[in-house]
Amino acid sequence: MTTPRSMILSLSFIVASAGLAIQGRTCSCLQFNYPSFDMTNKNDFSFSPGSAIANGSLRIVPNTGNSSHQSGRVVYVKETLKLWNRKRTVLTSFGTQFTLNILPGEGMAFILTNSLSLPRNSGGQWLGVCNNQTDGAPTNRIVAVEFDTRKSYQDDLDGNHVGLDLKSIKSVYPYPLSNLSIILSSGSDVLVSIIYNSTSHAFVLSVSQRNTSGSGGHNWRESWPVDLSRYLLDEIYLGFAGSTGDYTQLNQIKSWNFTTIDDILVAERTRHGKWVFLVLIALVFLVTCSSFLVLLVRRRVTQRRRLAYRTLEKMIDAHGPVRFKLKELKHATANFSPHRKLGRGGGGTVYLGYLNGINREVAVKRVSLSSRGEKEFVAEVNTISKLSHRNLVKLIGWCHEGGELLLAYDYFPMGSLDKLLFANATTTTYSSSALTWERRYRIICGVASALDYLLLSK
């Protein structure tokens, strides 16, 4: 049975759980880590024709057949990145690291884009980022960090530089690397780190390359101001693009990890979470008040019932049978031992007992709680205690204690009349032949007299 107190505890648990859920969900983020690549990772990416997983790396452009003036893309498609909310008031910060390896050719780029498709004729100077039709177009939703290994057109900085491209292959922030002794197309690994701070709009790029001997190395770091929400839609894909020119080039990504700080979900869930929490608090307050009112009403009703019981009990004690203690009747019946069981009927089980205090045997009826309530039991005892007739079994005493309802009657060793009427030699020492017609007549008259008394007493 559900009580008001259990309801309060349950609702308090719900509120506590909801609070923990709200706090836990703010940690949600897009995160993945590929120390290397194999065919089990194939479904995580979208590959343009000729791109593939090979030798533990992502191969961005084809390296077989006629691979000059080709382009390719490998895009992570298992999840998209939620970059900003509808009002552009909250953007997502992120960080990524990858290891690239380039053999001489054109170059490659890390891309943030709203489109999976590889532009046609995007080989050579276009690095698989765009083509001569989409370059600089307002609909060209792409931001790229290029790693250029060839001076492909007049305005191109040189044949060994990095740059930040916004909707166009012409870098907004180009930077030469040759004077830092970092050679992108040397065939040795280059470690790249990118961190974007959505609050300060700082786009931080770090590039490092170890010497071919494996000792020492060169590092470079630069920060550029850029608001990505001006150039991209809210949900974007992450990946790599590359191209070849007159010469074949091998562009590879050997490892890649990415992590976002999901500021959008933090802000929205925190805002919604506060409302949910306030509503739950208000709900618990209302339920608590209602529960206290219910408890108060129940307590008053219970007190009134107890007062009525006590009044009846006093009336019984004044003129009626003995009020036994529970331990007395338990001791008399050997704690209601099955061996003392006389029978069952009339809403309870009857046990043989012996009361030392009055030195007599009694039949103790253990009333079933399901057959009647406490109020009905006390009222019945009050009625029975007033009866006095030689053909009615006398009520010696009663007990209402510890959830037990007990009646103690005079014990008749010969048993009930039905046993005499339907007895046989195997079940009792008395037989039905002992009941002569004369005796049966006296029994019938006695029963009729008792019934007449009961009717008149009412």
pLDDT tens-place string over residues 152-193 = 777 888 889 999 999 888 889 999 998 888 988 888 899 999
pLDDT for the residue 3 = 46
- pLDDT(213) > 70: no
Are 182 and 101 in contact, with CB atoms under 8 Å apart? no
pLDDT for the residue 5 = 41
> Do the domain assignments include residue 389?
yes
Ramachandran area for residue 404 (φ above 0: left; ψ -120 to 50: alpha; else beta): beta
Looking at 243, 261, 279, which one is the last position of a domain? 261
Are 112 and 232 in contact, with CB atoms under 8 Å apart? yes
Look up the domain containing 70 and give its range.
Answer: 29-261
Looking at 238, 261, 284, which one is the last position of a domain? 261
- pLDDT(28) > 50: no
Same domain? 338 vs 404: yes
Mean of the per-residue pLDDT values of the chain: 79
> Do the domain assignments include residue 147?
yes
Compute the distance between CA of residue 67 and CA of residue 123 in angstroms, rounded to an integer.
Answer: 10
Q: Give backbone dihedrals phi and psi of 338, rounded to 5 degrees, phi first.
A: -60, -25
52 pLDDT tier (thresholds 50, 70, 90) = very high
pLDDT for the residue 374 = 66
Same domain? 349 vs 257: no
Count of domains for the chain: 2
Looking at 245, 261, 277, which one is the last position of a domain? 261
Same domain? 33 vs 109: yes
The CA-CA-CA angle for residues 77, 80, 85, to 5°, reads 165
- pLDDT(128) > 90: no
Q: Give backbone dihedrals phi and psi of 343, rounded to 5 degrees, phi first.
A: 165, -175
Once rounded to an integer, what is the mean pLDDT over residues 257-275?
63
- pLDDT(262) > 60: no
Burial of 42-78, coded b for 16+ CB within 10 Å and e otherwise, reads eeebbbbebbbbeeebbbbbbbeeebbebbbbbbbee
Same domain? 204 vs 85: yes
Same domain? 215 vs 78: yes
pLDDT for the residue 24 = 31
Same domain? 425 vs 331: yes
> Do the domain assignments include residue 21?
no
Binding site: which residues? 365
Once rounded to an integer, what is the mean pLDDT over residues 223-229?
91
Same domain? 231 vs 364: no
Residue 175 to residues 170, 221, 317: CA-CA distances in angstroms? Answer: 12, 10, 106
Once rounded to an integer, what is the mean pLDDT over residues 362-370?
84
Are 109 and 166 in contact, with CB atoms under 8 Å apart? no
Q: Give backbone dihedrals phi and psi of 193, rounded to 5 degrees, phi first.
A: -130, 135
Contacts of residue 22, defined as CB under 8 A and 6 or more positions apart, other chains included, come to 269, 270, 273, 276, 277
Query: What pTM was estimated for this model as a whole?
Result: 0.52
> Do the domain assignments include residue 2?
no
> Do the domain assignments include residue 279?
no
Same domain? 102 vs 204: yes
Which two tokens mark 13? 């648990």
Binding site for ATP: which residues? 365
Please tell me the least confidently modeled range out of 266-270, 291-295, 336-340, 420-424.
266-270
Same domain? 231 vs 373: no
> Do the domain assignments include residue 191?
yes
pLDDT for the residue 237 = 94
- What is the domain-level CATH number for residue 411? 3.30.200.20
Q: How many CB atoms lie within 10 A of CB 119?
A: 21
Please tell me the least confidently modeled range out of 218-222, 240-244, 403-407.
403-407
Transcribe 125-194 into DSSP letters. GGTTT--TTTTT-TT--EEEEEEE-S--STT---SSEEEEEESSSS-SEEEE-GGGT--TTSSS-EEEEE
- What is the domain-level CATH number for residue 226? 2.60.120.200
- pLDDT(220) > 80: yes
pLDDT for the residue 223 = 93
Same domain? 152 vs 63: yes
> Do the domain assignments include residue 203?
yes
Model confidence pLDDT, tens digit, residues 390-421: 888 888 888 888 778 888 888 888 777 777 77
pLDDT for the residue 375 = 66
The CA-CA-CA angle for residues 216, 221, 225, to 5°, reads 170
Once rounded to an integer, what is the mean pLDDT over residues 31-58?
93
pLDDT for the residue 372 = 65
> Do the domain assignments include residue 287?
no
- pLDDT(1) > 60: no
Residue 138 to residues 110, 125, 288: CA-CA distances in angstroms? Answer: 20, 20, 59
Same domain? 244 vs 343: no
Same domain? 250 vs 326: no
Are 83 and 234 in contact, with CB atoms under 8 Å apart? yes
CA 257 from chain centre, in angstroms, equals 29
